[in-house]
Structure formats: structure tokens, C-alpha cells
Structure 1
Amino acid sequence: MSDLHELTAAQQLAALRAREVGARELTEHYLARIDRLDSALGAFVTVTPERALEEADRADAQLARGAGGPLCGLPLGIKDLFATAGTRTTFGSAALAEHVPDGDSWTVGLLRTAGAVLVGKTNSPEFGATCYTENDVTVHPAVTPYDPGRYASGSSGGAAAAVAAGLLPLAHASDGAGSIRTPASTCHLVGVKPSRGVVSPAPGSSFFVTTTEGPIARTVEDAALLLDVMAQPSPGDLYGARPAESLAGAVARDPDRPLRIALWTDTGLDGVRPHPGAVDAAERTAVLLRELGHEVHEIAVPVPYTEPVQQAITAWFASSVHAAATALVPADRQPLLRPYTRHLHALGAKSTGLDVMGMQAVLAGYASAFLTALDGYDVALTPTTNGPPVPIGHYFRDGVEAEPRLMLDWSCYTPWVNLTGQPAVAVPSHLDDARLPYGAQLVGRPHRDAELLNLAAQLERASRWDLDRRVLGSR
């Protein structure tokens, strides 16, 4: 079968269990595509063919016995911000280019136990700090296959590029301010940021947990299959909350009632208008939702980005980068950090404990105001990005101090969801006249992940998303 990558992950898993295809055959198919296509895409930092084929052979032996976990034999990539035992994990940093962890992160361990065949590490910006994926480890930024002159966003840009180009059936990713959802949008894919606590963060990371891991996939069902495996809280997780039902099971049915949906396209930023394509993405999605029987109410942006909120967001990233760089990078290797990373590292180093507490208070108030404003709705609907995928080099034009605002102008619809802890799904909307992709974002109530995925799957069944992707995946 030469078109294995055209099958969804769910279809591939069914074929593996039926012994219609072997795990080695499937893994070799994807490794060949990576070898042939990735030099122009920048999707991978590290590829591990020998180890992947060993894992595939073990999966074949398990499948022959009628055994194996829920992902047994399925090739998968791991975002390069997460530890993989025996495989280098660079965190997107040249300062850590040879770093090889001794153990797996919690979620990587779950994916291994489920039988996934790990083929390598997908590209990420340094410490995940930007909404574009370019670093000094790889020679090529991660770009969208729809236009290789444009970024696949970030920080899960490599994961999205790999899935969109048929280098992986689906991918592990993570989201700290939109880092699953905006790459999914640039690559015409589905990306899921689960509720806070559904996927466990690194042990002892912070009381102020905003980042979570999740899937990027071609279909809602595929995303739910991966998320079901990841949604197993680790012992001691302060926010751990296992979903009440299988998320893959939830996507198979329609919502059991009409949902009340709030729609806005305002950016919340003074002087920044919504891009016409972004407005079109949200409005197209609203039309489909109304046709499916849901109530869609247009509202103003619930809470704008005031100057204190923008400053707090920058301080939030600066404190995270400072902590990561201090913990991971020896002082003599810190000159290898990229200019923007050094800028954030320096800002974070100047912050006092009182400054950090003040930043968290501003962002907590911002998040609380969002939850209050949306209390009468089941779901919020917005564009995912404020415009199409961004040309390579766009964020460098005005120096490092201007990068935060340039990134926020484009990714303004996503960070609030990380602060509130709600689940969110980025879904494809359309391709514009230049064949550039746009997406819409659906945000559910906290810990109603199954309801949100159920809605996204209903929307998918009523759409023509896959027709726009078929030629791309066949290359």
C-alpha cells in the first residue's frame, strides 16, 4: 500500500489490528517520507530510524499475539520540549544540542506503554517561547506545507508540519498560549488543548499551570484517540482530573442538546483590527453551527488586552524562559541562546518575587473576568489566528523588544484560554484564494472536554475539511 499516510490514525490502527498492514511496514513508510520531504519542511529535529524499527518489530510481535496497547504499532513524533529516554532532547536550543535524558517525561511514558512507535522529535522554538518555530538546532524553520515560505507557527510547529505533510499520522504537542491551536490552524488541522489537569504537567512545575500537552491530528477522532492515552494524571498532580468518559467515544455521537455559543472576532487590542480572513473563518463556522441547530450569539470581546495585561503576558513568558535557561543551560553555554531568548532571560532575571506575584494576580484577574463574562454560554467561538500563516522572518523586523507585540497581534485569540484552564479545539475553516489555511477556535466550559470534542466532531461531519487536504497529503 503506497498511500498509507492517506489513512487516518484510527484507520491505521484498525488495519494494524486486522493484520492488513504491519507496524514495520507502516513505520518504514513514514520514515521514507520524512527522509524525502522533511528537508524542505523543518518538521523534525531528530529522527531515530533504527530504534523506531526495533519498536515496530516488537509491536508486530504483540499484534500477532492479539496483544498490545491502544496505540500499538502507530508511528508518533514527540515534541522536542519533552524528555525521551536515550534520545536527544534539545528544547530547541543550540546550548542543549547534545542533551540526552535518562528518562521519559510522564506523558511520553504513557505513549510508549500504549504501544506507539516513536520515530523522532518534532521541531520547536527555544524553550517554546515563540509562536513561530525557528531555532539554531535545525537548519530550516518549521513551515506550513501550504506555503513553505511561511511559518507553521509555534511552538508545536514541527508537529503540525509533520502531520499536514503526511510525515506522521498524528503528533504529540503542547500549548502554553496557543502553541497547539495556532500551528493546527496554519496547517489546516485539528488541535486540542485539554482542560487544565487532564494531562499532567512536569512534577512540581508551578502552582500557576498554564501549559498542557495535547494532540495535533487530521481528524477529531484521531485527536481524541491520542488524548485518551495522555489523559491519565500522574500521582501527586495537584490539578489531575481524568475525563468521565472516553473522549474517542464522545466524538462518535452528536451533541444531546443545542448549545449556546458566544462568537466574537474583535482582537481586544487597541489599533489592531481583525483580519478579513480571520473574520471569515469564524463566520463560516458560525453558519455551520447554526445549521446544526445551535444558538450563536455575536458579542464584543469579553475582556480586552489592557496595557497591564500585555505587560503581564510578557513577564509570564520571561519568568518561564528565565527558569528554564537557569535550570538547564550552564553559564558558559548561555551565549549560545538566541537573541530573543536572551532578552526574555534578562527580563526574568530582573523580576523580584513580588513582581512575579503581581504578574500572576493580573493574569488571574483577567482569566476570572473571562470566565464570568462567558458564564451564560456553553462554548465560545473565535478565529484561531488573526490572519494567514506568517512569512518567514516577519517577527524579526523591529528587534527583540517588538517581538511580543507582533506575536500577540497575530495570536491574540488564544492565550486567554490557557489562563482560564478551559478546553479548546482548533478546527479548519477554509483555504483562501491563495490556498492559505484559516481555522476557527471552539472553547468549552472547564472540564467539559467530551462535550467540546463532541461538538467539534459534529462540525467536522458537516464540513468538507478533508477535501482541502487530500492533494497535500498525497505528495
Structure 2
Amino acid sequence: MNPHELTAAQQLEALQAKEISSRELTEHYLARIERHAALGAFVTVNENALDEAAKADERLAAGDREPLLGLPLGIKDLAATAGIRTTFGSAAMAEFVPSEDSWTVGLLRRAGAVVLGKTNASEFGATCYTENDVTPAPAVTPYAPARYSSGSSGGAATAVAAGLLPVAHASDGAGSIRTPAATCHLVGMKPSRGLVSPAPATSFLSASTEGPIARTVRDAALLLDVMASPAPGDLYGWRPGGPFSTALHLDRPLRIALWTDTGTEEHADPQAELVVRRTADVLTRLGHEVCEIPLPARYDEPVSRAILTWFAYQVGAVVRMMVPPERTHLLRPYSRHLLDVNETLSANDVVTAQALLARYASTFLSEVDDYDAVLTPTTNGAPVPIGHYDGDEADLMLKWSCHTPWANLAGVPAISLPSHVDCEGLPHGVHLVGRHRGDAELLALAAQLESAALWNELHPPSWHH
């Protein structure tokens, strides 16, 4: 068996048992990263990865038992990594090397992870596809390399699906963990607001959070266990009652709402309908009550405008803080569009948009208050071809990724699980949303579906080479 065929949990067990060394694992993955560079998974490979692995082996030999000790890991290129180039997916930041780790990266490093490099991301995380002017090729799904692996965590999902990483760090502002997981037949978890700290950033309306992309629910839980340690002073910070990885068991049946309505002018894709129906059947057989309900709120014109305002404000704030004016010409067209929109916004525009989006999110929470979870497709259809977003990008992205943003705005946990691979060989994902701070229960439900064989672990061709 090749090392990448082991799950992250199995690799950690093998490291502790001295059945494999961190250096052996790191060499294996570095060779695979080089061999499959055309998939667009990585922006930067850490030139010190083998040294980090050697130090991890010394600590393992001394009996150290840090939770991720010796495990190879990729960090999304939107998170600062001390001493490793961090471009934020932008040619305007192509040579930036941070002097400090972000809070979460620091947690992962202190837990013993060996950082192999930075996984590909869209420019400042602004799009649901991963194509930028830093890497020569977009991040693609290994199942169909002419199609995007979504974004903005496209590189992370590509890497795990192709066997270039056992598990990956990612982040999610409107679906950026879950839609890439869906395109790559993986598990992607967006935690509740405050469980994983955004430090050093902070905001009164914090829609984005970091989380794991993995092959199994247990692997996702293992990584989340380390990430779930909020920074001091975090406005929304909270700690779970115990490790998620040891609580993957449901002790009661749940009441689950479902819908497939996109909330846009786009009809539900037939494969998206299939995702929900087959998952609902499995849930019912497991003893849960599944009820179809109307979509609580739609993407009407005010909501769509508020989403554009909020994204323009966020991207504009980051660009103004990080990109020198003389380098803004290096931004991609969509980023420049958001920057132009940002220039027209008043403080009142931003506050009004926040209030409208808060009301939109609260409508969902009110309508699903009697349910323990919500079931929808992750995406409205299969992974899209390279070049699909030629035209009104905001409209095209929303029509495809319409099911995920409300969970970010509401601050509730959400997870994408593999559903099936269709007759064209394209993966599809199912989306489950839990109650606020109900992350443990949501992961346990996901583990139950995994055990009930909701999906088979089907690997893409690159996995075997």
C-alpha cells in the first residue's frame, strides 16, 4: 500500500507506532506534488519541509505525542505562514513572505504538522473558482481536469483528492470549503462562528471561517480538534465540550428539513435533486425524520445587491490595506470590479447591506428552528468547465453555489459530504447544516451517513500514479 492510501488518522497511528517516518511521508507527498503539478493544487512548496519532517521524527523518537506530529499538511494561500510565500492568490502579492503565522496556522504548527506548502486559492478568496495570475494553471478537480475544483479553497480540495495531501487546511466565506469538497468527492466542514478564530482579523459580521477538507469525517474532526482554540479576545470565540474526533456517535434520531429550490431564477439541476433524494432515503432508513419545506428566503434583488456590496467592501478593505496603489493594476478583472464598486460605497451602504443580510440569515434560522439539521445539495450541478465564468461572474457564481452562503451569514455549522459520481465521472456533494454550536452533532450525523455507505471512496485516475 502506498502511504497516501492511508487516511490521516491511519498515518498518525503509523507515525506513533514508528511504522513510518515523517520524512518518508513528506518525501512521498513532495514527489506526488511535483508529478501532478498540472492539477494546480499548490502555489508554493515549502523548501524547509524535509527539515521540519526530520525534527518531527526526532520528537516522535523522544516520545512526543502532539496531535498532528509528523503529519504532512497544506495551508491555504489566504493564511499567513511565517517564512513561506503567501500570495493571497494575487500577482500583486506574488513575493510576499510573512514574518508571523496567522493564529490557526500557529496552532497547526504547534500541534506538530509538517507544512508542505501553500494550496492554491482565488484572488483574495473572491470567487468560487480557483484561477489566478500567480499559478500557470487553475486548480481543477482530478476527476475531470478540464473542470474547476471550485474555490476559493480549490487547491486544498484538489490536493487531498489527488493524494497530494492526507488532509488540508481551508477557509469558507460563502461556501469556499464546501463547494470544493463537493467537486472533489471529499468531506468539507465549515464550523460555527467563533469555533475557529479569524485572528488577527476581526469583524462584527464575521461570515468567513477556517476549517478542514478531508477524505473521511474522522480526519476532518482530527484537524478541527486542533483548529478549535479561539484566540484571546475573539469576539465570538467559544470552546467545544471535548474533542470532536472521539464523539462521532449520534444517540438520538434527528428532525431534518430539506429543500432543493435554488432561490434564484435557475431551476434545480437533476443531479442536485438526486443528491438530496438519495440522502433523504438513507437518513429515513437510519431512523431520522426528514421533512421537505419551502426555501425560507430567496436571492431577490435587494439581497443580491447586498451580497455584492458586502463582498466589494471586504475585498476593497483587504486590497487597500495590503496592496500598494502602484500594484493594483496587477489585480484580476473581477477583483478590480469589486474595488471599483467599493469606491462607490458609503458607510451607510455597508451598514445597510449588513443589516439586510442579517435579516436574510435570521429568516432561515426562524424557519428551521424546529429542526436539528437542514439537507440541501452543496452545488446546483456538476463541477463547471474552465472558462465557465465568462460574463456576469457574480450572477453565474451565485446560480451554481446558491445553497451555501446562508450558513455563513447565520454563523451555523455546515458540512459537505460526497454523494455520488455520475455517469460522466463527475462528483456531486450533499450539504448538511446544523444548529449554532452544534458542530459535534453535525459531525456525528456525517459519520453516521459515512458508516451507512452514503458514498464509496472512488478515487480519480491521478490517485493511482
- TM class, shorter-chain normalised? over 0.9
Name the residue aligned to 2:215. Answer: 218
Q: 1:147 to 1:204 in 2, by over 3 A?
A: closer
Asked whether 1:129 is paired with 2:119, we answer no
- Cα contact 1:3–1:474 (8 A) shared by 2: no
- Cα contact 1:203–1:237 (8 A) shared by 2: no
Name the residue aligned to 2:271. Answer: 277
User: So what's the TM-score if we normalise by structure 2?
Assistant: 0.99
Name the residue aligned to 2:238. Answer: 241
The letter for the 1-side match of 2:379 is: T
Bigger drift between 460-469 and 274-283 goes to 460-469
TM-superposed CA distance for 1:464, in Å, is: 5.4
Name the residue aligned to 2:86. Answer: 89
Deviations 1:365-397 (A, max 9, x none): 00111100000000000000000001001102x
Q: 3-state DSSP class of the match of 1:185? A: helix
Q: 3-state DSSP class of the match of 2:83? A: coil
The letter for the 1-side match of 2:41 is: A
TM-superposed CA distance for 1:470, in Å, is: 7.4
TM-superposed CA distance for 1:471, in Å, is: 6.0
For 1:78 and 1:449, locate their aligned partners in 2 and report how far apart those are by CA, in whole Å.
22
TM-superposed CA distance for 1:87, in Å, is: 0.7
* One of 371, 374, 394 as aligned partner of 1:404: 394
Name the residue aligned to 1:113. Answer: 110
Asked whether 1:321 is paired with 2:311, we answer no
Q: 3-state DSSP class of the match of 2:23? A: helix
- Cα contact 2:142–2:460 (8 A) shared by 1: no
Question: Any stretches of 5+ residues in structure 1 without a counterpart?
Answer: none
Within a 5 Å distance, the mapping from 1:30-429 to structure 2 comes to 30-38=29-37, 40-48=38-46, 50-251=47-248, 253=249, 255-269=250-264, 271-396=265-390, 398=391, 402-429=392-419
For 2:98 and 2:378, locate their aligned partners in 1 and report how far apart those are by CA, in whole Å.
34
Deviations 1:437-460 (A, max 9, x none): 001000000001000000000000
Deviations 1:301-356 (A, max 9, x none): 11111110011011111001100110010000000000110000110121110000
For 2:453 and 2:342, locate their aligned partners in 1 and report how far apart those are by CA, in whole Å.
45
Name the residue aligned to 1:431. Answer: 421
Name the residue aligned to 1:445. Answer: 435
Q: 1:439 to 1:295 in 2, by over 3 A?
A: same
Q: 3-state DSSP class of the match of 1:426? A: strand
The 4+ residue runs of structure 1 with deviation greater than 6 A are none
For 1:24 and 1:246, locate their aligned partners in 2 and report how far apart those are by CA, in whole Å.
28
User: Percent of pairs identical after alignment?
Assistant: 65
- Cα contact 1:59–1:68 (8 A) shared by 2: no
The letter for the 2-side match of 1:262 is: A
Q: How many matched pairs?
A: 465
TM-superposed CA distance for 1:202, in Å, is: 2.6
For 1:454 and 1:469, locate their aligned partners in 2 and report how far apart those are by CA, in whole Å.
24
- Cα contact 1:68–1:114 (8 A) shared by 2: no
Q: 1:204 to 1:98 in 2, by over 3 A?
A: closer
Q: 3-state DSSP class of the match of 2:202? A: coil
TM-superposed CA distance for 1:278, in Å, is: 0.6
For 1:168 and 1:43, locate their aligned partners in 2 and report how far apart those are by CA, in whole Å.
10
TM-superposed CA distance for 1:284, in Å, is: 1.0
For 2:455 and 2:463, locate their aligned partners in 1 and report how far apart those are by CA, in whole Å.
13
Deviations 1:252-302 (A, max 9, x none): x2x111100001000011x21000001111111111111111010011111
